[in-house]
Amino acid sequence: MGRAEAGTPKYLANKMKAKGLQKLRWYCQMCEKQCRDENGFKCHTMSESHQRQLLLFADSPGKFLHNFSKEFSDGYMELLRRRFGTKRTNANKIYQEYIAHKEHVHMNATRWLTLSDYVKWLGRTGQVVADETEKGWFVTYIDRSPEAMERQAKAERKEKMEKDDEERMTEFIEKQIKKAKKDEEDGEPQEKYTELKREEEQPLKLDIRLEKKFQPDSILGKSALVTKRSSNDVDEKVFKKPKSMPAESSSRSALDEIIKLEEKKKERANRKDYWLHPNIVVKFISSSMGDKFYKQKAVVQEVIDKYRAKIKFLDTGDKLKVDQAHLETVIPALDKEILVVNGAYRGSEALLKKLDERKYCVSIEILHGPLKGRIVDNVQYEDICKIYGT
């Protein structure tokens, strides 16, 4: 039975039924498919698309479980940080707001069986302060962002500066008293202070001695200074080294060195362990799904979580959600446009100029941006890929 046409009463009834949240027991996380009843979920589990997703899950179950758990934890913590901040909040209340979003990651797809297990894990890892009460688990977010640490440091400095002079003087006097008592116990003799007295009718004398300033004119004379200064000027003129003009070869080598340093810096910044980009042509290299899709080319329609992608096969039109480990890049013919998917020039469109099969590398020419026209050599096969439609 086909789908109801748009605008018909059946179509509107289906839309109304699908509105809002449905039961979690009839949701498939691998296919991101929500069914309305048990019969629909049963039909979905028997479908070919669901069986393909189960085969992919069987290849690396730990990786899928880790990704789902990370997505769930990131969404939960982001909601806690943005919505509640550092206030003590009921963990179940945060969870209810999180699952209100229809496209959320379900907890039954993660490594935690219950919300209590997840809250305990957050407390053990130091992300929140978790405490259990009669009303359930409560969490308090621990803000370790640089801004929060700076605010805390400013508050401590302000509190320290607000100590008035009286408190400081009291502390100083207490220290002096303790020091005097300690000296008495050690038996050290105390210094005696006498009152300053001046006999009457006795004049007050001040003994102030001023040193004479050095006067070079009196020793050498003016003419000697003038002669010395002029001779220094002559020496500077005579022994001053002429400015040497840099040669063209040295400037060229310096420029090449700067370019190499710049490319090394870009390589370190842009080299990632993921390379998927939308609208590129890839080859499916996994044989776990039979010979139908093995070594077939497909186009990447959407990138999910950097490591997975939704692809559409060019020959059959079938769609799959696969990991990048099951794909490899496609090298087009010479003078065709390609996309740099990894390395220093990641995300740049370029033209394939030369192919070196012995070293498994190519030479490309950047097409757009401030580096337009630059020739880049020794680019590895896995760092470039064909653009769909070129």
Residue 216: predicted pLDDT: 52
Collapsed DSSP state (helix, strand, coil) of residue 176: helix
Classify the C-alpha dihedral 38-44-50-51 as positive or negative.
positive
Average pLDDT value for residue range 130-150: 85
Q: Which CATH number applies to 331-389?
A: 2.30.30.30
Residue 340: predicted pLDDT: 93
Contact 352, 332 (CB under 8 A): yes
Q: Which amino acid is at 72?
A: F
Residue 155: predicted pLDDT: 80
Contact 388, 299 (CB under 8 A): yes
User: In this structure, what token pair is assigned to residue 317?
Assistant: 């039109």
Residue 358: predicted pLDDT: 87
Terminal Cα distance for the chain, rounded: 39
Is residue 219 pLDDT above 60, yes or no?
A: no
User: In this structure, what token pair is assigned to residue 191?
Assistant: 């210094």
Instruction: Describe the crossing of helices 48-59 and 61-79 by its angle, rounded to 10 degrees.
Output: 100
Q: 63-75 in b/e burial notation, b at 16+ Cβ within 10 A? A: ebeebbbebbbee
Collapsed DSSP state (helix, strand, coil) of residue 214: coil
Locate all alpha helices (DSSP H) within the chain, ordered by sequence: 9-18, 38-45, 48-59, 61-79, 91-99, 115-124, 146-161, 165-186, 216-219, 222-239, 248-270
Considering the entire predicted model, what is its pTM? 0.38
Average pLDDT value for residue range 129-150: 85
Average pLDDT value for residue range 314-322: 88
Is residue 380 pLDDT above 60, yes or no?
A: yes
For residue 323, give every residue at least 6 positions away whose Cβ sits within 8 Å of its Cβ, in sequence order, or none. Answer: 56, 60, 63, 307, 308
Average pLDDT value for residue range 347-369: 89
Band of pLDDT at residue 164, cut at 50, 70 and 90: low
Average pLDDT value for residue range 232-254: 51
Contact 309, 303 (CB under 8 A): yes
- Higher-scoring residue by pLDDT: 217, 365: 365
Contact 340, 350 (CB under 8 A): yes
Residue 7 CB-half CA count within 13 A? 0
Q: Which of 270, 330, 273 is nearest to 300 (CA)?
A: 330
Residue 198: predicted pLDDT: 62
Contact 382, 328 (CB under 8 A): yes
Give the Cα separation of 324 and 63 in Å (integer).
12
Domain 22-141 has CATH 1.10.10.2030: yes
DSSP 145-161: -HHHHHHHHHHHHHHHH
Average pLDDT value for residue range 153-163: 74
Residue 139: predicted pLDDT: 92
SS (H, E, C) 287-320: CCCCCCCCCCEEEEEEEECCCEEEEEECCCCCEE
**CATH for the 273-330 domain, from 3.20.20.70, 3.40.50.1220, 2.30.30.140, 2.60.40.2470:** 2.30.30.140
Residue 258: predicted pLDDT: 75
β-strands 27-28, 33-34 pairing:
antiparallel
Average pLDDT value for residue range 289-300: 86
- Higher-scoring residue by pLDDT: 270, 355: 355
| Averaged pLDDT score across all residues of the chain | 78
DSSP 95-119: HHHHHTSTTPPPGGGSS-SSHHHHH
Is residue 76 pLDDT above 80, yes or no?
A: yes
Give the Cα separation of 148 and 222 in Å (integer).
67
Residue 209: predicted pLDDT: 66
Is residue 283 pLDDT above 80, yes or no?
A: yes
Residue 301: predicted pLDDT: 92
Collapsed DSSP state (helix, strand, coil) of residue 273: coil
DSSP 389: T
Residue 251: predicted pLDDT: 56
- pLDDT tens string 30-52: 777 777 777 778 888 888 888 88
Give the Cα separation of 373 and 366 in Å (integer).
5
Residue 223: predicted pLDDT: 46
Give the Cα separation of 79 and 109 in Å (integer).
19
Give the Cα separation of 295 and 289 in Å (integer).
11
User: In this structure, what token pair is assigned to residue 195?
Assistant: 């009152």
Give the Cα separation of 51 and 30 in Å (integer).
10
